[in-house]
Homo-oligomer: A and B are copies of this chain.
Amino acid sequence: MSVKGINRIAIIGTGAVGGYYGAKLAAAGNEVHFLARSDADVIKAQGLTIESLKSDDIHLKDVNVYSNASDMPICDVVLITLKTTANKALSGILKSVVGESTIICSLQNGYGLEQALEDEFPDNKVLGGLCFICSQKIKPGVIQHQDFGSIRFAGADDESLQRVVELFTDAGIPTQTSDSLEQARWEKLVWNVPFNGLSVILDATTKEMLDDPKSRALIHSIMMEVIAAAKAHGCELNDAFAVKLMELTDGMSPYFPSMKGDFENCRPMEIQAIYDSVIQSAKSKGVAMPQTTMLSQLLSYMDHG
């Protein structure tokens, strides 16, 4: 905790996720430092704006924004919101903002992220946050918040977990906690694995894919592959969870998942994080994922990265 109880927070990646949560945390009075790279100049000049379709807009002026992590201060809490496709730069970035008591929290998509962080920063508390949010960067410095926004946190010790939860709760962000980071990650993958890749391959929204009986069956079948892999990792998940997720998505506004946005904007897709790490992990438990593997192969062919 910094002086006067103000939290000093680093946002590593000011995109659809980092921009939104960072702005909410800053609006709540925290000292937030944003790493933004190519957008840093625009944000410095014009501020950071959240246009929300569901709640009040936010406009931050005088943003602490950086294009180089080496200019950033050591922070109390570091939120990793980079695309995983930029993870090769992560290690160098974190050295600038992580001190001995810094809590590191990954809000990235994928599997195995926290383990890699714990390996690299064995003396720090590492936790994961699973974001249930529909948002997109519509231009530099402007994030459109479409729906939802809650985060499920898990990992680290109770004290660190509680501290991060309070930070977000105090900023008006709904939070839940999970006893098992493993379980929470797999639960999110059950959604991410089918919807992200299929939206790219079929050029379709969640609703379009769920309304067609063949693609709906495929979504269910891929979810069951992920659930089988999750079970092999000791998670408690079953068919009812797949059905529940599909019905929950039926109730959402038609949505293009983040991978579709990456593809359309010629950014590399998070194939390693959302697919290959999962396939590899399932394989290590003797579970084959033929359809998930095929998704990864199709996406790899299509990838601009």
Q: Does A201 contact B (CB under 8 A)?
A: yes
Say yes or no: A218 contacts B294, CB within 8 Å: yes
Determine if A217 is an interface residue (Cβ-Cβ < 8 Å): yes
* A174 within 8 A of partner (CB): no
Give the chain B neighbours of A296 by CB distance below 8 A.
214
Identify which of A19-27, A161-169, A297-305 touches chain B: A297-305
User: Is B297 in contact with A294, judged by CB distance below 8 angstroms?
Assistant: no
Kindly identify which residue among B209, B290, B294, B297 contacts A301, using a CB–CB cutoff of 8 Å.
B209
Bound complex: CA of A215 vs CA of B218, how far in Å?
A: 20
Contact status A214-B297, CB under 8 Å: yes
Which chain B residues lie closer than 8 Å to A201 at the CB level? 201, 298
* Chain A 168-213 residues near chain B, CB threshold 8 A: 198, 201-202, 204, 209, 212
Q: Is A272 an interface residue (CB 8 A)?
A: no
Q: A290-B291, A291-B291, A294-B294 are in contact. Are A302 and B218 (CB under 8 A)?
A: no
Q: Tell me if A's interface is mostly helix, strand, loop or mixed.
A: helix
Could you say which of B209, B214, B217, B301 contacts A202, with CB atoms under 8 Å apart? B301
Partner of A297, one of B217, B293, B297: B217
Complex: A209 Cα to B301 Cα, angstroms: 8
The size bracket of the interface on A is 20 to 34
User: Does B301 contact A212, Cβ atoms closer than 8 Å?
Assistant: yes
A293 to chain B: which residues have CB within 8 Å? 221
Closest chain B residue to A290, Cβ basis: B290
Known: A201-B201, A202-B302, A302-B202. A215 touches B291 (CB 8 A): no
Given the interface pairs A201-B201, A202-B302, A302-B202, the reply to whether A215 lies near B294 with Cβ below 8 Å is no
Complex: how many Å from CA A298 to CA B218? Answer: 8
How near does chain B come to A305, taking the closest CB pair, in angstroms? Answer: 12
The closest CB in chain B to the CB of A204 belongs to B301
Interface contact A214-B294, CB-CB below 8 Å: no
A203 to B204, CA, bound (A): 16
Using an 8 Å CB-CB cutoff, how does the interface string of A261-305 with B read, 1 for contact, 0 for none?
A: 000000000000000000000000000001101101110111000
| A-B CB contact pairs (8 Å), 14 listed | A198-B298, A201-B298, A204-B301, A209-B301, A214-B296, A214-B297, A215-B300, A217-B297, A218-B294, A218-B297, A218-B298, A221-B293, A291-B291, A294-B294
Residues of A in contact with B (beta carbons under 8 Å apart):
198, 201-202, 204, 209, 212, 214-215, 217-218, 221, 290-291, 293-294, 296-298, 300-302
